[in-house]
């Protein structure tokens, strides 16, 4: 137990608060924490994913065959609107179905996961070109003006 207390910082609890008052300290903290925005998928990745798009009028048949989860047969769990027979629905790999427009927007701007069960939405392995563009968009800290 004594070894645990030796690992604790000996500075006062307010030491960290004073260090976060400067822009440079906040920038260092942001770099330490890493990416804050959750990963998303691009329209191209969604289109190439092979996720099936079906009409709402075939949803009951898909549910009976076990190709769609039964908890998303009546309404879209994103917008909460009931399905209309001509609606286009996208079926994710976890078998949850949503309005195509709703789930595509969710994957592109919210998170790349299923809104119902949180499994991965689109498998978008990072390519070297994606990494390069991401590193080019990273801001570099500027020294504070004197």
Digit-coded pLDDT (tens) for 24-67 = 887 887 788 876 777 899 999 999 999 999 999 999 999 999 99
Domains, in order of start, for the chain: 43-110 (3.30.40.10)
Contacts of residue 68, defined as CB under 8 A and 6 or more positions apart, other chains included, come to 59, 62, 91, 95, 96, 97
Q: How far apart are CA 125 and CA 41, in angstroms?
A: 10
Note the pLDDT of residue 26: 79
pLDDT of residue 115: 93
Write out pLDDT tens, residues 67-116: 999 998 999 999 999 999 999 999 999 999 999 999 999 999 988 999 99
Measure the CA dihedral 118/135/129/102, to 10°.
30
Give this prediction's pTM: 0.62
């Amino acid at each position: 137990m004594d070894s645990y207390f030796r690992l604790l910082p000996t500075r006062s609890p307010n030491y960290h608060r004073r260090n976060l008052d400067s822009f440079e300290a906040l920038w260092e903290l942001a770099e330490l924490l890493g990416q804050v925005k959750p990963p998303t998928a691009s329209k191209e990745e969604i289109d190439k994913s092979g996720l099936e798009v079906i009409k709402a009028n075939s949803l009951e048949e898909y549910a009976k065959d076990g190709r769609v989860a039964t908890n998303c047969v009546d309404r879209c769990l994103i917008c909460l609107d009931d399905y209309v027979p001509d609606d286009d629905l996208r079926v994710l790999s976890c078998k949850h179905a949503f309005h195509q427009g709703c789930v595509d927007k969710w994957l592109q701007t919210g998170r790349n996961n299923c809104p119902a069960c949180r499994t991965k939405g689109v498998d978008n392995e990072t390519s070297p070109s994606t990494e390069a563009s991401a590193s080019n968009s990273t801001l570099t800290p500027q020294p504070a003006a004197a």
